[in-house]
Amino acid sequence: MAARKPIFNQQVLVDTTPLPDSVPKVKEVGATSAPLLSASFFIGARCRPYNDDYMQCKTENPGKGEFECLKEGRRVTRCAASVVDDINKHCLDEFRKHWQCLDNNNHQLWQCRKDEWKLNKCVFDNLKLEKTIPEAQGIPVHLRSKQIYAHYPALRDPGQAPFKKAVDAPGAEAPAS
């Protein structure tokens, strides 16, 4: 029995037929989870209208959105790719530091505030994109200089100023350099 070798691998299962020529081509973003998480709020800041358009299209075409919303989907992808490209162009070092920190810390954003502040500052200076958390209670959590759950209480390099809008918790000033 079972003389036939079981064939079950990705090479056979992948259907490589491209989209028909009637559908415009778009290059996928191709970033992994940590860079996407690191850039997510900037993607949201620039691409919110495209994202909302796409989600509205999906809502209005239940069951057919896969085909009806290809155009909106391409816009979403192009916009997100433009954000990632811009960050790569202007803030590559900060971006890398931040997403590598995320990768090393189980994707916990609060462990990487120091790198995040540097990235946020660079992105705000160069791209005018700002990270905002809607409906945040009190000081937005990414601007607090004290992160209760972080492994290391020293959140800043000596002398490093916090991100512009950060509000210092009492007694949490950065030591002088």
Partner 1 sequence: MRKDEKDSNKKLTFAIFLPQRNLPAPGFKPAALVLGMGAVCVWGFYKLGQGIREQNELAREKMWSRIHLIPLLQAEEDRDLARRHMADQAREKQLTGDNFKVYNSDRYVRPTYAVTPGNTTK
Q: Which residues contact partner 1 by CB under 8 A? A: 11-20, 23, 26, 28-29, 36-37, 40-41, 43-44, 47-48, 50-51, 54-55, 58, 62-67, 69-70, 72-74, 76-77, 80, 109-110, 133-138, 140-142, 144, 147-149
**81 - beta bridge partners?**
none
The minimum distance between CB 141 and partner 1, in angstroms, equals 4
Please classify residue 177 by burial: count the beta carbons closer than 10 Å to its beta carbon, then call 0-12 exposed, 13-18 middle and 19+ buried.
exposed
The minimum distance between CB 67 and partner 1, in angstroms, equals 6
Question: Residue 135 or 151: which CB sits closer to partner 1?
Answer: 135
Q: Residue 67 gets which letter from DSSP?
A: H
Question: Residue 49 or 175: which CB sits closer to partner 1?
Answer: 49
The minimum distance between CB 36 and partner 1, in angstroms, equals 6
Using alpha carbons, select from 91, 137, 136, 135 the residue that is nearest to residue 117.
Answer: 91
Question: Residue 134 or 171: which CB sits closer to partner 1?
Answer: 134
**167 - beta bridge partners?**
144
Question: Residue 36 or 174: which CB sits closer to partner 1?
Answer: 36
Amino acid at 35: P
Question: Residue 27 or 158: which CB sits closer to partner 1?
Answer: 27
The minimum distance between CB 157 and partner 1, in angstroms, equals 23
Using alpha carbons, select from 25, 15, 125 the residue that is nearest to residue 81.
Answer: 25
Query: Is the alpha carbon torsion for 119, 55, 28, 83 positive or negative?
Result: negative
The minimum distance between CB 124 and partner 1, in angstroms, equals 17
Amino acid at 21: D
Structural contact between residues 110 and 144, judged by C-beta atoms closer than 8 angstroms: no
